[in-house]
Structure 1
């Protein structure tokens, strides 16, 4: 199962999903605030007399709509950048909600808008309903936005309670209903998100298992096959050094034949542990390529440094050996070491063959030795 390149790591998947949903949903709704204002102004008692106010309101909601569309997700989608983006985008949502809340309040208060009060009130109901369902991912922020939409208008209706009691009570009851709906929508959103995150984590665990050798916990041949060609291509393109060390345990079959496969596994594990002690830089990629053959990919490493580390590994391994059934056993390895040469290695396969040939020369020349790959 190949991973979906569009999905981020599971440690900030929820934040990534929330930012994607926020962006999509806010873009769909932004234009309706502008349309609601145009209708409210257009059906007022005398639109021409309110021309400066009409233009100012139109420019205000057009600006907010534009800012929503221009506020794109960060190029580098890490946890800190996504949190910052969400905070800034919610600021736009709050300003829009407060802007419409004040418009609704002014329309209810001003006699010039008596003919279009119903439009403004219905728009407030529509916006608040959409808010409760659309932005339920952040419950507290959504409650704040609902109050910004509602409270200015409710305040004006409270001042006119004798004439507007029915509308005041109806809007207040509907607000309480929206808060209940928001609570349910919030739970459902995060339950769905949790399920998706579990699937992502399971996918990552499967990928990790499929690319890891179960005995040594080093990368396996599948991981090498995925990394090696891309690293060679990067070294060619960027003109950066790339070294490869291939290691083969000497006379490993004899250990299996004399002491059994469990002892052979102990030998492989001890060999991998010794690799971790020597090739311990963050950039070193340690792999078990199959059987008793191992490899180390060393990006950004020149041949001289790779040679030095590999020779240190060989010497320390030969002197230390490993413990088997309470007894010290000799353990040696043959190594081939090479650095990518873009002038001579026309492919990743050619580079690997050069180093592999060096490894076999080391074994043919008596084992427990290191041989440098000769440029082709």
Structure 2
């Protein structure tokens, strides 16, 4: 299992994990119902006399096995889809349990099965034990499946109390143990699930921290290096526009030298806040690429629309500068390079970035405080 397999929303994780566990554990058990029935039938006194019933039940358990195997998990790991899958799969489990419970009851009510009753009973014990320990995700459904496996046979044994009381009492005691074991397995399963969720939450927090610039709370260079190639690959497939703005604060070294690095940090934070005011669409990815250099990735944004936003930011910064908390107002300008992905020019994400970076370099060369378009 890779990280990409995990659902991104932690509230979906519990049902996703349950679906995965159910899918894995149900595949092993399905074939044993079929084998148990074949042994019970073929070791009866006269299997040929029950050929019609034997074949019918064989087809039934084959069908249940086949339905388990072909019932694939949904491609989309949405909560509603996963819950629907789990509900449908539990229906298969419960129907199979009822089918075997009736087989066990038949074995004890028909003398033809006297030689193979032990097979049926041991199979019932095995199936119910597996249910208690392998399917504790839903306690009520687990109890229901165990009762479906057990109760039909217990009813028949109860009707034969004088001759079968020892077996009936033994199975009843074991049933009580299984119900207690299922309850314990249920608690342990959900305790483990809670721990997994906590670890997933912690990992996501660490991942977010590793991809977030601690000073500005924008994405950092690591985030950019991950996001940018993926966005370029997406627009190469789909043909949608992708624009990139690179921003560099002019003469930032002077701010650090004149006011100190503490004020410089406040300036970087205020600059990031100003970016958020202008590039505020949900689809805009705002990043600090390092030092005083920033970037904005704008998916589904044509070049002209990106240019308008970049010019609004440049004019606003040029006119208003930055208000630094606890400090006087700082006049500030920035140099910007802007480009939109062009399949004819950009053979790769690196080529696209270089075109925009070259435009930023020209903006600095031409006197700063300006926007230069990539060519």
Structure-1-length-normalised TM-score: 0.95
Matched, 1:242 2:248: no
User: Once structures 1 and 2 are overlaid, which stretch shifts more, 198-207 or 266-275?
Assistant: 198-207
CA distance in 2, matches of 1:228, 1:326: 36
Match of residue 151 from structure 2: 151
Contact 1:10 1:200 in 2 (8 A): no
CA distance in 2, matches of 1:241, 1:167: 74
CA distance in 2, matches of 1:370, 1:264: 23
In the TM superposition, residue 233 of structure 1 has moved relative to its aligned partner by 2.4
CA distance in 2, matches of 1:180, 1:345: 65
CA distance in 2, matches of 1:185, 1:277: 52
In the TM superposition, residue 114 of structure 1 has moved relative to its aligned partner by 2.6
User: Once structures 1 and 2 are overlaid, which stretch shifts more, 351-360 or 66-75?
Assistant: 351-360
In the TM superposition, residue 188 of structure 1 has moved relative to its aligned partner by 2.4
SS in 1 for 2:5: coil
CA RMSD of aligned residues (A): 1.6
In the TM superposition, residue 162 of structure 1 has moved relative to its aligned partner by 2.3
SS in 2 for 1:246: strand
SS in 1 for 2:26: helix
SS in 2 for 1:342: coil
CA distance in 1, matches of 2:177, 2:41: 29
Match of residue 8 from structure 1: 7
SS in 2 for 1:5: helix
Match of residue 339 from structure 2: 338
CA distance in 1, matches of 2:44, 2:344: 78
In the TM superposition, residue 286 of structure 1 has moved relative to its aligned partner by 0.5
CA distance in 2, matches of 1:185, 1:282: 44
Contact 1:16 1:82 in 2 (8 A): yes
> Any residues of structure 2 matched to 1:201-220 within 5 Å, and which?
201-220=201-220
Match of residue 88 from structure 2: 88
In the TM superposition, residue 265 of structure 1 has moved relative to its aligned partner by 1.2
CA distance in 2, matches of 1:159, 1:135: 31
CA distance in 2, matches of 1:333, 1:176: 75
SS in 1 for 2:158: helix
Unaligned runs of 5+ in 1: none
- For this pair of structures, how many residues does the alignment match? 372
Match of residue 36 from structure 1: 36
Instruction: Note the alpha carbon deviations across 1:5-50, whole angstroms, 9 max, x for none.
Output: 3333361333222212211111101011111111111122221111
SS in 1 for 2:76: coil
In the TM superposition, residue 91 of structure 1 has moved relative to its aligned partner by 0.6
Instruction: Note the alpha carbon deviations across 1:64-118, whole angstroms, 9 max, x for none.
Output: 0000011111111222221111111111000000111111112212233233222
Contact 1:10 1:201 in 2 (8 A): no
Match of residue 132 from structure 1: 132
CA distance in 2, matches of 1:345, 1:178: 65
> Any residues of structure 2 matched to 1:172-251 within 5 Å, and which?
172-251=172-251
Structure-2-length-normalised TM-score: 0.95
User: Once structures 1 and 2 are overlaid, which stretch shifts more, 191-200 or 51-60?
Assistant: 191-200
CA distance in 2, matches of 1:230, 1:25: 36
In the TM superposition, residue 267 of structure 1 has moved relative to its aligned partner by 1.0
Unaligned runs of 5+ in 2: none
Contact 1:10 1:197 in 2 (8 A): no
CA distance in 1, matches of 2:217, 2:14: 29
In the TM superposition, residue 311 of structure 1 has moved relative to its aligned partner by 0.6
CA distance in 2, matches of 1:345, 1:166: 82
> Any residues of structure 2 matched to 1:199-348 within 5 Å, and which?
199-324=199-324, 325-348=326-349
In the TM superposition, residue 298 of structure 1 has moved relative to its aligned partner by 1.0
The alpha-carbon distance between structure 1 residues 206 and 82, as it changes in their structure 2 partners (threshold 3 A), is: same
Instruction: Note the alpha carbon deviations across 1:291-340, whole angstroms, 9 max, x for none.
Output: 11100011211100100111111112222322233532222211111111
In the TM superposition, residue 177 of structure 1 has moved relative to its aligned partner by 0.7
Match of residue 367 from structure 1: 368
Instruction: Note the alpha carbon deviations across 1:138-189, whole angstroms, 9 max, x for none.
Output: 2221111101111111111222222221111111100001111112222222
Instruction: Note the alpha carbon deviations across 1:185-219, whole angstroms, 9 max, x for none.
Output: 22222233333333322222221111110011100
CA distance in 1, matches of 2:45, 2:357: 88
CA distance in 2, matches of 1:21, 1:213: 38
CA distance in 2, matches of 1:238, 1:349: 19
